[in-house]
Amino acid sequence: MTQSVESVDAGNMVVASLGVSHIAYIRPIDKGDNGYAVCSAEGKQLAVFPSYDAAFFTARQYNLAPVNVH
């Protein structure tokens, strides 16, 4: 089964991968939906995915080092 990405701003992901920090935070979104946001080290939301795995994989594709936020 293929899951679709709800929202991705590839430009933001590229800019984040060129920044000073290569850390991307992955956190659950709080909109009542099941999903995960990839955020820059500065806290800007870069993309929203339907699963943790999709968020993690995409962050790695942009040479970011994903970490969890609890």
Q: What is the largest CA-CA distance in the chain?
A: 37
- Where b means 16+ CB within 10 Å and e means fewer, 12-46 reads bbeebbeeeeebbbbbeeeeeeebbbbbbbeeeeb
Q: How many angstroms separate the first and last alpha carbons of the chain? A: 28
pLDDT number for residue 47: 92
What's the one-letter identity of residue 55? A
- 13-61 pLDDT, tens digit per residue, is 555 545 546 888 999 887 666 799 999 888 888 899 999 999 999 999 9
**Phi/psi class of residue 36: alpha, beta or left (left: φ > 0; alpha: ψ in -120 to 50)?**
beta
pLDDT number for residue 5: 46
